[in-house]
Structure 1
Amino acid sequence: MTPPPARRRRRTDGDSAAPRLALPRRGSVRRSQMITTYGVGSLIAVDNESFIVSGIDDAYRSWSLDDAPIISEHRLARVLRVSHFRLPPASEDTSKDGVRVRRFPLWHSCPNCRALQHVRDFNPPAGKNVCTDCDDEPLVPSRFVVACEDGHLDDFPYWKWLHRKNREEGATGRCGGQLSMRFSGRSASLRAVIIACTCGVPEVSMEGAFRRSALTDLGVRCEGRRPWLKGAPAEFCSQAPRTLQRGSSAVWQPVLKSALSIPPWSDGVADKLAVHWERLRSLASREKIEIYLMGAFQGDDSVSIDAVMELLEAEQEEDPGQEGDSDAGAVVRYQALRRQEYERLCTGNASRDKGREEQFICEPPVSDPAVLDPFGVGRPMLVKRLREVRALKAFTRVADPETGSEGHEAPLSLIPTDWLPALEVRGEGVFVRLDESRLDDWADSVEVAARVEQMRTNHERMLRERATDPADVPSSPATPRMVLLHTLAHVLINAWSLDAGYPASALRERLYTDATMAGFLIYTATSDSAGSLGGVVAQGEPDRLAEALHSALRRAAWCSADPLCIEARSSGVGGVNRSACHACVMLPETSCEHNNILLDRALLVGTPEDPRLGFFADMVAG
């Protein structure tokens, strides 16, 4: 997706919205896209130009607090080892400064003279991207880039690709010729993209450039370049470089971490204390804390000593700092954060006696939940008000980010910062929990365990391949309980999308699965999506939820790709799925927090050979 061109408006002398720096404005995107689509390190195409989003090293000085306010979410900040978050600046006409970008890729071609070279060799005027030899003909950025699984990015090595059979062993110089690119027009394939050189070597096409070993076979190694970080030196890299399309989703995948605001952190008091935490932790007694509060919050009765003491005690109880910085330690810290949310979702937080500042309202339905007993579903909880903070922690290239591994993540800055870009979402949702005793009896089945074990083995192999330290690889979360709940959340979202009128991209899952948790939350994914005025909560009423479950399971029993889908022994990247495809249970990328992996609808409804494999087999048969 390409962002729209910059909007221009008439300015007057003394306009307060004028940029502080005389930097050209290239385009505009929504704030949420700066986290999910066009974050740090991603490529943005604007008209006939291409740019890479710069790192956040200088962003704290260039982003004004008016355009990029501070976001507080204490629990998530502690897990990610930062002090706070910042909302990316808006791209409105009134915004003063935006997000910095740099031109990339640097190799361009001229569609008129067909020259293929570095953009500076075209001698374009400042701020323009044209070929001066062709009456300012607009240049075309390279369609191809080179990336590796450690996040490095570079221009495609056109000269090495063309001269691969005419390079002397150990030679580092160039032939001195002029490269050119043309299109034969015979087809739309890579075979029609022809590269030539005036030195006289035979011309070649781009066919075969996307093979996994295409560049390594030519002796091309990753140069460890990080063009999104200003002044970043090249790193040593042992990863194999891969050719990618400039607009491919494999060029940039965000690593997002999120948390819900839950009591006692959800009443607004914690936000007011955001800049005081270090000082408050250093005070040893209640009396000293009370004196400090009297000086820091004169005339503000909303910050009481009792509320502050409660927050400090809660912080000590849920402190994730005891775990190390390893991949496995990060998973443990994040799982502890989820467990706190699960306990609060089960307990609830009634709206009575809550002020308007309360960000988490969770209540049971009024009607009798007995209609859900045949499904093995316990009493649902209606989350009438919630706030979620999503932070961009890092990003990956080539390989999709795995929820269980911190390996191969590219940083957002050259020097670690004490903050991260983030956005906050306010909405509503429904929390669904399965009967754990019935779930354990089903999971003890030998057939169920064997089916999931194959998925787990494949997933752990992927985690080992992508981990930073192969000796410290977190275990796969794939268990019968997890795969069942994950797949059930997917089919329920699809049912609401088809029966209740919600687009699937407007809803999002949040899974709570381990030995002590067995539930999931379905909630509005963005603040401007459909279903943010009570429509989602209404779907959690027991009668409506029972109808949705019955409809979802009936659809899951059949797929247009059957019998191939239901009989598949493995599917998806790395074989981490079983009976799951885009025709039955997969969701839009924005809705699934596990990148559409670890799914198997056979665990819901069974297979033709073994119907009892499904947890809901009795409901489907009925």
Structure 2
Amino acid sequence: MTPPPPPRRRRGTGAAVVRPRKLGGVRRSQMVTTYGVGAMIAVDNESFIVAGLDSWDISQAPEVLERRLTRLLKVRSFRQPPAPDPDRATDGVHVRRFPNMYSCPKCATLQPFYKFNSPPRTARCGMCEEDLVPSRFVLACNNGHISDFPYWRWVHRGSGHTGGLCGGTLSLGTNGSTASLRSVVVSCSCGVPDVSMEGAFRSRVLKDLGIRCEGGRPWLKEVPPEGCDQAPRAMQRGSSAVWHPLVASALSIPPWGEGLHKLVEKHKLLGASEDTIRWFAKNHAALLKSVNATAEDIIHLVQAIEDDDVAADQDDTPTPKARSALRQEEYIRLVRGNPERYTAEWQPFVCEKPLGSPAVLQPLGLRDTMLVKRLREVRALASFMRGDLPSEADPAHRMAPLTLSDDIDWLPAVEVIGEGVFLRLDENRLRSWETDETVIARARRIRDNHLTLLRRRTGASKTAGGEQQDAEEIDSPVSPRYLLLHTLAHILINEWSLDGGYPTSALRERLYCDDNMAGLLLYTATSDSAGSLGGIVAQGEPDRLAHTLKAALARTAWCSNDPLCMESEATGVDNVNLAACHACVLLPETSCETNNSLLDRAMLVGTPTGTVPGYFHDLM
């Protein structure tokens, strides 16, 4: 990762170009999930914010192909985050210094970084020669803006000074009295009383001081602040609330990404003339033979794809419905299966029935299982948010832009190659269970809490961007079926981490739930070798899966926090869980689609009193 290059310096008649400073490196996958555009990253004793897409050099960045996802996100292509290459003189991902406020641990001076006169390519106090410390605190709002914490206004509150006219120098230190913010003290040489940072995280305090959001977007190049009427919040620089990525993903399923379709996309044949295609077919006969295709096949396919692209560009289906349609396509293919026909290069998705009979699973409430022996998932960073966790009801203005350039028609993305197991529930048994009044009533408690949360967030931001959203249009995915599938995925991942030796962070869930779908896919979620050697597929054999499910349910029936866990009225962030805690069903947040929310193990095992039957209560 590199900051923006410094200005060119000319010496004599020649021109010497100062190369950008290389700060360090992160994995490409982290540029989508952890350190994407707008996120802050600490490097040694400095802090930076990842710059927008318009500053990325993608001339050597590999392209990631996934047409279903490009149509969903309305872009032309995906690119892997670029890596610096000294031999080709290419840059990697650029960053910009943020926050701008630094302090010296020796002289305690608190001021903008440029005032310290640090030696080039370092962050040291010009007077004390001590390493500087970036500000621990920033201001951010729910519209994605971020700025430095207003230390001057904080220490001069009530003093009568306005506009920073005191002429003094700020200092930041600790008195060592406690480990809380009370011991962090800000002072000014003008003589105003010292003020601790206690209370800075209360939004009401900032509002009373007249501190408003400045609309700062430091990750975008030379972009002035924009108007914003959201109340800012003080946050720790390293807080998870400072940056929430909005990642969209899709599985590569037939026909896309397979055989002739992949050949057409990989070799850029879309838009090519018939003569060009025939020339390509003549000079790549072995390539066409590997996918059992002819020049005529390519011509017909190219025309069909181009017609579909025109229709997709004109399609104005709302994003939630488009995402649902994408999941339905995957569900149909997972149910149908896809036997191996090509090598891994030309077929990224192989889904087959297990060798064992699914009859052993039917008494357990499962219909069948499919072994996904080869799987490819593409994850793209579509946007990001700050403050409150993302939800289905978020208005568009909460989604911060990755760039303001009209020339950028791509998004950063990574691909994951792995394997998984797909399960389906017995529809007849499921419909009988989910229509039970006690089950519906318990699920309604979570649904009502979730709807209240969505409406509160929408109501709080209705006028922020001049948008209005009818509260009647807000809906929640919570249902007995959804809670059952979601919690079942969690306990199986936990059990596989114990029985199969996989770290839970290496596994991920993908839920397929609506009136016509009742399935879940558990698969490898990392780009390394964890779980890519057949270990997960082996867990999907019916006999082994039956044993795993029984063990997982026995473990889930009792929690070390019971009876508090099972009898809780509401748990989790924003009170959208019931019987779910870190001692029973919660997972690392990277493994869960909803950040460990919308869970209830009573849907699996029932309540101890028996008033609410669990889906698997016959096994308990």
- Does residue 1:397 correspond to 2:395, yes or no? no
Q: 2:447 aligns with which of 441, 451, 456?
A: 456
Q: Does 1:410 align with 2:400?
A: yes
User: Residue in 2 aligned with 1:565?
Assistant: 565
Distance 1:49 1:188, change over 3 A: same
**Over aligned residues, Cα RMSD in angstroms?**
2.5
How far has the Cα of 1:269 moved from its partner?
3.4
2:27 maps to 1:30: yes
TM-score (norm 2): 0.89
1:127 maps to 121
Percentage of pairs with the same residue = 54
Equivalent residue for 1:544? 544
Of 186, 191, 196 in structure 1, the residue corresponding to residue 187 of structure 2 is 196
Matches within 5 A, 1:231-310: 231-274=222-265, 279=271, 290-291=274-275, 293-295=277-279, 298-301=282-285, 302=288, 304=294, 305-306=296-297, 309=300
1:458/1:546 CA distance change after superposition, 3 Å: same
Deviation, structure 1 residue 395: 0.9
The residue that corresponds to 1:423 in the other structure is 414
The answer as to whether partners of 2:144 and 2:386 remain within 8 angstroms in 1 is yes
**Which residue matches 1:229?**
220
Map Cα deviations across residues 523-568 of structure 1 (whole Å, 9 max, x no partner): 0111214211100000000011001111111111111111111111
Aligned 8 A contact 2:352 2:371 in 1: yes
2:158 is equivalent to residue 165 of structure 1: yes
Q: Which amino acid aligns with 2:239?
A: S
Query: Which residue among 73, 83, 103 is the counterpart of 2:97?
Result: 103
SS of structure 2 residue aligned to 1:402: coil
Counting only pairs closer than 5 Å after superposition, residues 14-53 of structure 1 correspond to structure 2 as 22-53=19-50
Kindly indicate whether the alpha-carbon contact (under 8 Å) linking 1:251 and 1:397 is maintained by their aligned counterparts in 2.
Answer: yes
Q: How many residues align?
A: 587
Q: Specify the alignment match of 2:510 in structure 1.
A: 510
Instruction: Give the alignment partner of residue 324 of structure 1, picking from 302, 305, 316.
Output: 316
**Compared with structure 1, are the counterparts of its residues 220 and 324 closer, same or farther at alpha carbon in structure 2 (3 Å cutoff)?**
farther
Give distance in 2, aligned partners of 1:411 and 1:316.
30
Checking the alignment, whether the CA contact within 8 Å between 1:464 and 1:470 is kept in structure 2 is no
Aligned counterpart in structure 2 of residue 432 of structure 1, from 423, 433, 451: 423
Deviates more, 1:149-158 or 1:462-471: 462-471
1:141 matches 2:139: no
Aligned partners of 1:313, 1:566: CA distance in 2, in Å? Answer: 55
CA 1:503–1:455 in structure 2 vs 1: closer, same or farther (change >3 Å)? same
d(CA) in 1 for partners of 2:611 and 2:179? 47
Instruction: Report if aligned partners of 2:168, 2:190 keep a CA contact under 8 Å in 1.
Output: yes
- The range that moved more, 333-342 or 396-405, is 396-405
User: 8 Å contact 1:146–1:243 — kept in the other structure?
Assistant: yes
Question: Partners of 2:116 and 2:235 in 1: how far apart?
Answer: 25
Secondary structure class of the residue paired with 2:481: helix
> Out of 361, 378, 388, which is 1:372 matched to?
361
Work out the CA distance in 1 between the residues paired with 2:138 and 2:521: 39
Is 2:441 aligned against 1:441? no
Structure 1 residues 232 and 582, CA gap change in structure 2 (3 angstroms): same
SS across alignment from 2:368:
coil
Residue 461 of structure 1 and its aligned partner are, at CA, apart by 2.9
Point out where structure 1 has 5 or more consecutive residues left out of the alignment.
Answer: 7-18, 281-288
User: Could you tell me how far 1:92 is from its partner in structure 2?
Assistant: 7.8
State the one-letter code of the partner of 1:471: Q
Q: Tell me which moved more, 583-592 or 89-98.
A: 89-98
More moved, 395-404 vs 105-114: 395-404
Alignment of 1:598-613 (within 5 A): 598-610=598-610, 612-613=612-613
Q: Which amino acid aligns with 2:588?
A: P
Instruction: State TM-score, norm by structure 1.
Output: 0.89
Cα 1:438–1:404 shift into 2, 3 Å: farther
CA offset digits 1:236-286 (Å, max 9, x no partner): 112110011111111111110000110111315334434858737xxxxxx
CA offsets 1:335-390 (integer angstroms, 9 cap, x no match)? 11110000000000011466751111000001111111111101100000011100
Give yes or no for contact 1:566–1:579 (8 Å, CA) kept in 2: yes
> Structure 2 unaligned runs (5+)?
4-15, 462-466
Find the aligned partners of 1:513 and 1:356 in 2 and give their Cα distance: 31
Does the 8 A contact of 1:109 with 1:116 survive in 2? yes
Deviations along 1:95-150, one digit per CA (max 9) or x if unpaired, are 8421101111000111111111111122223322221121x221110010111111
